[in-house]
C-alpha cells in the first residue's frame, strides 16, 4: 500500500469520525429537548 493511499484513508476516517461525533451530539440534543 502506498503512502498516498494510506493518507487518503486516514483523511476519510477523520472526516467520518468528525461527522459521526457531530451527528451524535445533534441527536443527543434533540433527545434531551424532546424528553425533558
* Alpha helix segments (H runs only) across 1-36: 3-34
End-to-end CA distance of the chain: 50
Sign of CA dihedral 11, 13, 14, 15: positive
1-36 pLDDT, tens per residue? 577 889 999 999 999 999 999 999 999 999 888 876
Helices and strands per DSSP (H, E), number in the chain: 1, 0
What does the pLDDT read at residue 35? 77
Give the SS3 label for residue 11. helix
What does the pLDDT read at residue 9? 94
pTM of full prediction above 0.85: no
What does the pLDDT read at residue 22? 97
Amino acid at each position: 500500500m502506498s503512502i498516498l493511499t494510506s493518507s487518503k484513508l486516514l483523511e476519510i476516517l477523520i472526516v467520518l469520525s468528525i461527522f459521526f461525533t457531530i451527528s451524535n451530539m445533534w441527536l443527543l440534543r434533540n433527545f434531551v429537548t424532546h424528553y425533558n
